[in-house]
């Protein structure tokens, strides 16, 4: 009987059954309650108590998780830019090596510098190579 009243109260108040607590001294009044309005009146009079929500922080943390959709597009743009420049510069350095304008060791060091983003553009790379030769 009391279980049914808890269900009615939970549906009426739109909360879980675990949060509803009946005052033992007033169980007779609660048993007589039939309608949703009776339940509301009992809550106002203090015969039915509502426990506070526990563990709310975990739910908030779950809501604020950063999924793949929340990562900024900025990162992708930066990577695309890096890939474009790197490919262009590596191709140029390879061409210079084939022509014999740079040595094998210079080639390796330039590749490392390209990897470390030392050059902003192809023109910047050419300037660097010229300054090394002098």
- For the domain spanning 2-52, the CATH number is 1.10.1650.10
User: CA–CA separation, 134 vs 128, rounded Å?
Assistant: 10
Instruction: State the pLDDT at residue 102.
Output: 93
- In the predicted structure, residue 100 carries a pLDDT above the cut 90: yes
Domain limits, CATH 1.10.1650.10, in the chain: 2-52
Q: Residue 50: helix, strand or coil by DSSP?
A: strand
Q: What are residue 83's phi and psi, to 5 degrees?
A: -65, -45
Instruction: State the pLDDT at residue 129.
Output: 92
Q: With contact defined as beta carbons under 8 Å apart, do 47 and 30 qualify? A: yes
Beta-bridged to residue 48, according to DSSP, are: 22
User: CA–CA separation, 121 vs 87, rounded Å?
Assistant: 11
The structural architecture, per CATH, of the domain 69-133 is Orthogonal Bundle (1.10)
Q: What's the rounded mean pLDDT across residues 81-97?
A: 96
The reported pTM is 0.46
Binned at pLDDT 50, 70 and 90, residue 101 comes out as very high
Nearest CA among 50, 8, 15, 3 for reference residue 33? 8
Question: What are the tens digits of pLDDT across the range 35-73?
Answer: 999 999 999 999 999 999 887 777 777 777 767 776 677
Q: Residue 20: helix, strand or coil by DSSP?
A: strand
Beta-bridged to residue 50, according to DSSP, are: 20
User: Residue 125, by phi and psi: left (phi above 0), alpha (psi -120 to 50) or beta?
Assistant: alpha
The upper half-sphere exposure of residue 82, i.e. CA atoms within 13 Å in the direction of its Cβ, equals: 12
Domain limits, CATH 1.10.1200, in the chain: 69-133
Instruction: State the pLDDT at residue 2.
Output: 74
């Amino acid at each position: 009987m009391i279980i049914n009243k808890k269900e009615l109260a939970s549906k009426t108040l739109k909360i879980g059954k675990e949060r509803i607590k009946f005052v033992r001294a007033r169980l007779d009044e609660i048993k007589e309650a039939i309608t949703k309005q009776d339940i509301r009146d009992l809550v106002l009079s203090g015969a039915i108590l509502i426990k506070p929500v526990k563990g709310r922080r975990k739910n908030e943390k779950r809501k604020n998780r950063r999924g793949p959709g929340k990562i900024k597009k900025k990162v992708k743009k930066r990577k695309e830019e890096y890939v474009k420049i790197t490919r262009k510069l590596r191709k140029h350095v390879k061409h210079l090596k084939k022509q014999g304008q740079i040595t094998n060791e210079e080639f390796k060091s330039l590749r490392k510098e390209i990897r470390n983003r030392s050059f902003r553009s192809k023109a910047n790379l050419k300037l660097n190579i010229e300054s090394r030769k002098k």
